[in-house]
Structure 1
Amino acid sequence: MRAPQRLLPGLQCWAARRAGSLHTPEGGPSTSTAALGVLEAVRGVATASASPAAPQQQPAAAASPPAPAASAARFDLDQHARRLREQLEGPRLLVQQQQLLQQQQRQQQQQEQEGPWGTLLAGRAAPAQGGPGSLEQQQRQQQQQSRRRRLDVSAIPMLRVPSKRDAPAPPPPAGDPRAPSVDWREIVERARRTQERVGGAQMLTDTFSRKHTYLRISLTERCNLRCTYCMPADGVQLTAGERLLTAGEVQRLASLFVSAGVDKIRLTGGEPTVRPDLADICSRLSALPGLRTLALTSNGIALKRQLPQLKAAGLSALNISLDTLRPDRFEALTRRGGHARVLAAVEEALRLGYDPVKVNVVVMRGVNDDEVNDFVELTRDAPINVRFIEYMPFDGNVWSDSKMVPYRELLASIGAAHPGALAREDDPAGEVAKNFRLRGHRGTVSFVTSMTHAFCGDCNRLRLLADGSLKVCLFGANEVSLRDAMRAGASDEELALVISAAVDRKRAAHAGMFELAATANRPMITIGG
């Protein structure tokens, strides 16, 4: 057995390496039970080498004493094995104790959440107390508790707490910006009693003989940007999805308006391209008999990839919002990135043949008013209509007249940069913008002057919001819910009466800009512009 004795130091060293150096802190936790087996095997070799074989006739009492080297090797291996067992067993016990503590904490939290119902259903006692010596007993008790919790809950009566979404929307208090201008319930009930009817252009003609032929439909309140003039800094309360108009409801209401004389519909948001059924809605609306123009206003972030499909679905006109040509300023204004994607959307619209491609620019003093002539340059070689919009007050956008740049100031700035080049264009019927063309430019520039030169006398537009509310004036606070009337079973004839009553209450003009700034209204993002 001298050969095994010679191999013993090498095997011992290999086993120690296999187990990880037990003399270093990082070695212990990384060991495996296989290393412990190797140590046991090497210890067996050491024991065999320490007791050399004797003839069968030799008495046991005559066995020779173990060699000193072999005894020392066996002692070292015993020490290695003991330390390895401790390092393997220690983490396991620690993990078990941690798991037990976590389970007790979860049970306590669950009991607090469930209240008396949880205690009644669980039927469990308090967990057993004890130290590490009672660990197995505690685990058995936990297993029994888990088995007791496997109950047939189908026989237990369920207590359902009503959801806010299940409850009908309470009527807004007096003075609320969403307070209805008409009571649709009263109108529907009267129509059912008297068989009263209204139809054709009469439905959309107000008491000042203004005929409304332009409907703006907001498809969503959601947006993938957070523009400072549109979205309040602390966000907005979004309407629950089931309270928004479905594609079928949009189609039904749009058909009703078109049959009464609306010939132009614009889809807005929020951001309409975040609505997954946008192309389907475009297909439905573009097929309505009598509709001449189906337009879209978008921020352009997700527009490029959708535009070919939207054009095929019947989208005939396009506005893209872009308030700056500088990427860093774009991020400051929108609180998001994506400037290059908006420019790509403009290029894609030009490639697909939209003429003109309208670019909406909200001008704010000290923010982007130094870029006015840069935007004008976009019209030199492309059929782009840049529309400069006066900064308007809405809830949460911290409007100030000092930030509003009047259109005449913008016009003077452009005229100074292009002397004698500006010429006034004829404004189409119902057009709210003042249109100009620069000599030698393929495109045009326009000014939307809602603040300094209101166009209320010729206003021909109505707004259907994403939640189904009809808003007859952008700056008016009163609304009426066509969604509620429709979902309550109102017929098209009854809906026409509700619409007619709301249109009849449209005022001759909205208030001045300072009065508007003090008037409660929705945030722009929930109106759609």
Structure 2
Amino acid sequence: MQAAMLQDRYNRRFPYLRLSVTEACNFRCTYCLPDGYKKTAPHNFLSVDEIRNLVRAFAGLGIRKVRLTGGEPTLRADLADIISVIAETPGIETVALTTNGYKLTRSLADYRAAGLSALNVSVDSLIPDRFKAITGHDRLLEVLDGIALAQELGFRAVKINTVLQRGVNDDELPGFLKLIKKRALSVRFIELMRTGDSAAYFAERHLDPAPMISFLATASWAEQERRATDGPARVFRHSDYTGSIGFIAPYSKDFCSTCNRLRISARGGLQLCLFGNDIFDLRRFLAREDTLETMQDRVATLLGLKRETHELTEGKSGRTRHLAMIGG
């Protein structure tokens, strides 16, 4: 399979694949699964062998970074095996993981040994009672211990994801600034996104991050240049701080112009946009190696259907009922 580079009709290139390995999640975050995860179909998620073939095919199409998401990916008992087969795939340079962090102190060393190179941990509040109210679990200190372990294990990129919510955690910028003063962490404030199940919550809690961005700009924080495989965050640094602050603002103008990632569901469906209406089955190509080139051709063709922008600003969130469906 010859190496190529996926490109859509808007000249956007795609070196970054987000791969969901499960839809299950053990947290009950207010903005995602406030009533907890409800199993609606058999857990026939992609096997390790299917993931090996999938990633091999996408590496042949120019994918260089794979991020493992969920639901909560650490619920997979074979996650270390999944990490290993991806890290061993020729062409893959970065294997990243997004997690709620509840299992890091027990399993992160195994993930690191398997080839994990980058880590994002969800921390929606640094205040224990508030963290519990948001997630349904009193585990903030345990999650923070996992982040500290990640730094001890030598991860070069440890990021904290914080979903910004009006009246919930919109007063916590000073606490996060204190956290990164002497530590090489990158905090990413994520603008709350409307999904099919969260219209009422979104209307109550959505907050535009633009004022926070403006505040940092006036306080001598400088925006950093994006690399080809970076996510969508606008990242800011300050000479007095070891860490950085980033913002993912999907409702901002031209947000989709920098799109560089594709998404695969836990059952092998290609979703061209987080908030698109369609999902395209790729699993039927994954059982045998001699069908992978056919899958590559299929992916390249489907990329021609990718829209220029999402329709979030028009109140349309596509097939995504909640972010645990495909990892945000």
Pick the TM interval, shorter chain: over 0.9
1:288 counterpart residue number: 89
**Number of residue pairs the alignment of both structures matches:** 326
**Residue type of the alignment partner of 1:461:** R
Cα distance in structure 2, aligned partners of 1:276 and 1:388: 30
Task: Report the Cα offset of residue 459 of structure 1.
Answer: 1.0
Contact 1:216 1:267 in 2 (8 A): yes
| 1:318 paired residue among 107, 112, 119 | 119
1:216 counterpart residue number: 18
SS, match of residue 396 in structure 1: coil
Map 1:136-155; keep pairs closer than 5 Å.
none
1:206 counterpart residue number: 8
TM-score by length of 1: 0.59
1:73 counterpart residue number: none
Contact 1:436 1:446 in 2 (8 A): yes
Task: Report the Cα offset of residue 239 of structure 1.
Answer: 3.3
Task: Report the Cα offset of residue 498 of structure 1.
Answer: 2.1
| 1:407 paired residue among 196, 206, 209 | 209
Contact 1:373 1:414 in 2 (8 A): no
Cα distance in structure 2, aligned partners of 1:265 and 1:341: 26
**Residue type of the alignment partner of 1:458:** T
User: Which structure is larger by alpha-carbon Rg, 1 or 2?
Assistant: 1
Cα distance in structure 2, aligned partners of 1:291 and 1:480: 23
Cα distance in structure 1, aligned partners of 2:288 and 2:244: 47
Cα distance in structure 1, aligned partners of 2:112 and 2:36: 36
Q: 1:260 to 1:301 in 2, by over 3 A?
A: same
Map 1:257-406; keep pairs closer than 5 Å.
257-398=58-199, 399-406=201-208
Contact 2:3 2:59 in 1 (8 A): no
Cα distance in structure 2, aligned partners of 1:373 and 1:514: 33
2:256 counterpart residue number: 456
Higher RCO, 1 vs 2 (CA within 8 Å, ≥6 residues apart): 2
Percent sequence identity over aligned pairs: 37
Contact 2:12 2:259 in 1 (8 A): yes
Task: Report the Cα offset of residue 528 of structure 1.
Answer: 0.5
**Residue type of the alignment partner of 1:479:** I
Cα distance in structure 1, aligned partners of 2:75 and 2:27: 11
Q: Deviations over 1:257-314 (max 9, x none)?
A: 0111100000111111110001111111101111111111111001121111111111
Q: Deviations over 1:174-195 (max 9, x none)?
A: xxxxxxxxxxxxxxxxxxxxxx
Cα distance in structure 1, aligned partners of 2:241 and 2:110: 30
| 2:277 paired residue among 443, 468, 477 | 477
Q: Does 1:526 align with 2:328?
A: no
| 1:420 paired residue among 215, 219, 237 | 219
Aligned-pair RMSD on alpha carbons? Answer: 2.1
Contact 2:117 2:156 in 1 (8 A): no
Cα distance in structure 1, aligned partners of 2:313 and 2:33: 19
1:230 counterpart residue number: 32
**Residue type of the alignment partner of 1:221:** E
1:81 counterpart residue number: none
Contact 2:25 2:37 in 1 (8 A): no
1:447 counterpart residue number: 247
TM-score by length of 2: 0.93
Cα distance in structure 2, aligned partners of 1:208 and 1:451: 19
SS, match of residue 491 in structure 1: helix
Task: Report the Cα offset of residue 465 of structure 1.
Answer: 0.8
Q: Does 1:466 align with 2:266?
A: yes
